């Protein structure tokens, strides 16, 4: 059960993704909340503009969901190991893209939702951005660690 220590966040987040795919988070339902709020913020905006911003918020949510899922997946794959490996990133991307496909398949059976390959591509872009961010963070961490003097170094600053 040691693997669960590393995987439970990804599993929990995948559960959140499924919840976001239900009728409660359909465009029709989120519009009832987001568009009035946007209208309150921008009272002179035209309805078409508010609808476009609502759509962009929804697509941004896809990117954000899968950005986070991708980071949690690579955490699970990496486990107790350190650093960054392309194999881990590819594994996380493959799982995230597969989950995105299953998520859209699920939405095909939800009456107020629909399946969209464009959403799968948006999700995959979010997951890719997550892996790029992880790779950059790992490289910066490695670079920073290389610059620090070793603990037993005679040049150590006290």
Residue at 24 is within a domain = yes
Q: Per residue in 13-71, pLDDT tens? A: 999 999 998 888 888 889 999 999 999 999 999 999 999 999 999 999 999 999 999 99
Residue at 156 is within a domain = no
Contacts 24+ apart (CB under 8 A), 98-101: 99/14, 99/17, 99/69, 100/66, 100/124, 100/127
User: 101 is in which domain, residue-wise?
Assistant: 2-147
Residue 130 has what DSSP assignment? H
Residue 24 has what DSSP assignment? G
Report the predicted TM-score, pTM, of the whole model to 2 decimal places: 0.86
Residue at 7 is within a domain = yes
Residue at 157 is within a domain = no
Residue at 152 is within a domain = no
Cα 122 from Cα 61, distance rounded (Å)? 10
Residue at 16 is within a domain = yes
Domain count, the chain: 1
Give me the mean pLDDT over the 77-94 stretch.
94
């Amino acid at each position: 059960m040691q693997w669960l220590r590393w995987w439970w966040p990804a599993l929990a987040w995948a559960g959140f993704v499924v919840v976001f795919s239900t009728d409660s988070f359909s465009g029709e339902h989120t519009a009832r909340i987001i568009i009035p709020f946007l209208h309150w913020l921008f009272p002179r905006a035209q309805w078409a503009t508010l609808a476009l911003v609502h759509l962009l918020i929804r697509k941004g949510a896809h990117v954000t969901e899968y950005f986070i899922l991708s980071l949690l997946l690579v955490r699970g794959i990496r486990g107790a190991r350190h650093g960054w490996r392309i194999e881990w990133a590819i594994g996380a991307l493959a799982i995230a893209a597969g989950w995105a496909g299953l998520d859209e398949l699920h939405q095909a059976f939800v009456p107020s939702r629909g399946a969209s390959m464009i959403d799968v591509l948006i999700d995959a872009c979010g997951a890719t951005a997550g892996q790029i961010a992880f790779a950059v963070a790992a490289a910066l961490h490695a670079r920073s660690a290389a610059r620090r003097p070793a603990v037993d170094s005679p040049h150590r600053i006290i």
